[in-house]
Amino acid sequence: QFHDSFEYYAAEWTPAFLDAFKKGRGYDLWDQLPAFAGIGDEDTVSRVRADYRETLSGLHLAYLKRWHDWAKSRGGITRNQAHGSPGNLLDHYAVSEIPETEIFKHVEEGQIPMMRMAASAAHANGNNLVSAETFTWLDEHFQVTPEKLKEAADFVFLSGVNHVFFHGIPYSPEDAKWPGWLFYASTHMGPSGGLWRDLPAFTAYLQRCQSILQDGKPSQDVLIYYPIHDIWHNNEEKLPLFTLHNQDKWLAPTNFYQTSMELWNGGITFSYASGDMLSHATVEDGKIIVGGNAYGLLVLPAVKHMPPETLAKIAELAEQGATLVARGGLPGDVPGLHEHGKRRTELASIAGKLGGKAITMPVDEPILSSLSQRVSRETMTSSGLRFIRRSHDKGYHYFVVNRSGKTFEGILPLAVPFKSAAILDPWNPGGTVTTTAKDGGVTVRL
């Protein structure tokens, strides 16, 4: 079953909301109605509204889980687009066997942090498939070229997607006047769309890419904590909806986003984790294990609000040998209103014990400077090449795309050790084995 992006607006209340709020947040919302309406001191207003948003997120999560369990009990699986909801997107994506992201209109690298959330949810659950609603409104009808299709497909693959969904082929009655019924936001992939001559070659390209990208496991260097409580903690009256369309307002201003883009541009692979996902993490040989996938270190991107239990888990991981980088220092406040003074003291106590085990850095210092001695970056990004890397029993797969707009010809440096390599061209299903260099090493030349 498929759950499309959250597009049922004004879903801001339910008859059982007050009971759910009191049970989850520890106090009666009736007692804080002035603050909920924006009346009172700024701190109380933001805490009450954050509690409201967290409660609503939990209610949405509950119905998604019930829907998933219903489908599973009947032999089905679920595919879920979490974006657009007011909730914790990572946890909402993670409900389904196949989390699904979306590319809308433009292919812009600034969308990578948003699109990486679906893949992160799959990684955290140990699931393999990550889907994407692809080609949505790339251009007006009959204006989308095969070149634009390939650019969009390559981009979603770079975000961690390995299961492309076409958007789309609208229903059209046989007796409808040519060109038939059209959907306003769709790249027209149907018989009258003008792309059909090129689709066999294009779908063969997708098949070859996906067969590699569905093999093995994600190979990620860094795990980044998703600070949803900081995003919920604001004084805006409206309920924030975390859509693709307005990510420039709610996501781009955050240090979480900035950290992600610095790593992306610097050639360091990463995935995200929510507090719930971290609660299941373990440490093996200094690596953080989440969903069966290993990460070299955990980054806290200028986190201000964190539940004490989440920081306690992070402290436990650090005690077991995990590396923690706290950009802007450790979190100093707790989310929500209930007993926040007591919980803040508890958080400070945990932070005090953890402090010596965490690598702290100024928030305005480039994060690559703190990671350079701990993670090997893929320097190909300096030439405008973008990649995604997966590991398998015998080594690694790389999917490499030249997004520089310039021709690249030269040696392709790789951050992982290897003894041999083969170049696979998805347009031409043949392989080229590299030669051994004078130092006994192997080079890859593109």
| % of residues, the chain, pLDDT over 90 | 80
Q: How confident is the model at residue 308 (pLDDT cuts 50, 70, 90)?
A: very high
pLDDT band at 333 (very low <50, low <70, confident <90, very high): very high
Contact 335, 233 (CB under 8 A): yes
The model's confidence at residue 436, banded by pLDDT at 50, 70 and 90, is low
pLDDT at 441: 60
Three-class SS state of 372 = coil
Q: Which two tokens stand for residue 271?
A: 């995935």
Query: Vertex 398, ends 433 and 263: CA angle to 5°?
Result: 140
The dihedrals phi and psi of 319, each to the nearest 5 degrees, come to: -60, -30
Residue 104 confidence (pLDDT): 80
Distance between CA 32 and CA 19 in Å, rounded?
14
Q: Where are the domains of the chain?
A: 2-216, 222-369, 379-445
Average pLDDT over residues 226-243: 92
pLDDT in tens, 163-174: 999 988 889 999
Per-residue pLDDT at 336 exceeds 80: yes
pLDDT over threshold 80, residue 262: yes
Most confident range (mean pLDDT) of 186-200, 236-250, 252-266 is 252-266
Q: Mean pLDDT score of the chain, rounded to an integer?
A: 93
Neighbours of 33 (CB within 10 A): 11
Q: At 428, is the pLDDT very low, low, confident or very high (cuts 50, 70, 90)? A: confident
Higher pLDDT, 355 or 440: 355
Give the relative orientation of helices 199-213 and 146-158 as an angle to the nearest 10 degrees: 10
The pLDDT tens digits of the residues spanning 149-200 come to 999 999 999 999 999 999 888 899 999 999 999 988 888 888 888 999 999 9
Tokens coding 49? 């509204």
| DSSP class per residue in 20-31 | HHHHHHSS-GGG
The C-alpha R_g of the chain, in whole angstroms, comes to 23
Place of tokens 């603050």: 35
Give CA–CA dist 374/386, Å, rounded: 21
Q: Where do the DSSP E strands lie in 208-336?
A: 217-218, 222-225, 270-273, 282-284, 287-290, 293-295, 297-301, 324-327
What confidence score (pLDDT) does residue 445 get?
82
Confidence of residue 132 (pLDDT cuts 50, 70, 90): very high
Which tokens sit at 289?
Answer: 């294990």
Mean predicted confidence (pLDDT) in 122-130: 97
Looking at residue 293, its pLDDT comes to 97
- What fold characterizes domain 222-369? Rossmann fold (3.40.50)
pLDDT over 70 percentage in the chain = 97
Mean pLDDT of 74-84: 96
Q: Which two tokens stand for residue 128?
A: 């393999």
Q: How confident is the model at residue 245 (pLDDT cuts 50, 70, 90)?
A: confident
Q: For residue 153, which of 427, 359, 355, 381 has the smallest C-alpha distance?
A: 427
pTM of the shown model? 0.96
pLDDT at 303 over 80: yes
Q: Are 177 and 389 in contact (CB under 8 A)?
A: no
pLDDT recorded at residue 440: 54
d(CA 444, CA 394) in angstroms, rounded, equals 17
The pLDDT value recorded for residue 438 is 52
Structure tokens at 1: 């079953």
Query: In the chain, helix, strand, coil percent, each to 5?
Result: 35, 20, 45
Q: What is the mean pLDDT of residues 318-323?
A: 96
